[in-house]
Amino acid sequence: MLNPKMLEDLSTRFSELIAASPARDLEKNAKAMASSMFSRLDLVTREEFDVQKDVLARTRVQLEELEARVAELEARLAAREG
């Protein structure tokens, strides 16, 4: 029967073996390759995206307000001329 100390030692050695295995190197290389690929793309952070989304929403509201004012001014002008 295996004692707990022996199982713990076996688990520790197995973890060390996995950490030093080619699988660990593959994981590191895959992460490095993905990071390199993403750095070449024109990406923004989520924070930057959210800021720009808010700016766009405010700009859209301002545009709608200006469009309404122009329509009102055009209507007044047409009423004066007509």
What integer pLDDT is reported at residue 34 of this predicted model? 83
Looking up tokens 């994981």 gives 27
More confident residue, 59 or 42: 59
Looking up tokens 């800021």 gives 51
Nearest to 62 by CA among 74, 73, 72, 70: 70
| pTM for the model | 0.50
* Residue pLDDT, tens place only, 3-46: 777 778 878 887 777 777 776 777 778 888 888 887 788 888 89
Average pLDDT over residues 47-71: 97
In angstroms, the CA 5 to CA 74 distance is 88
Calculate the alpha carbon distances from 28 to 36, 58, 64, 71 in Å: 12, 43, 51, 61
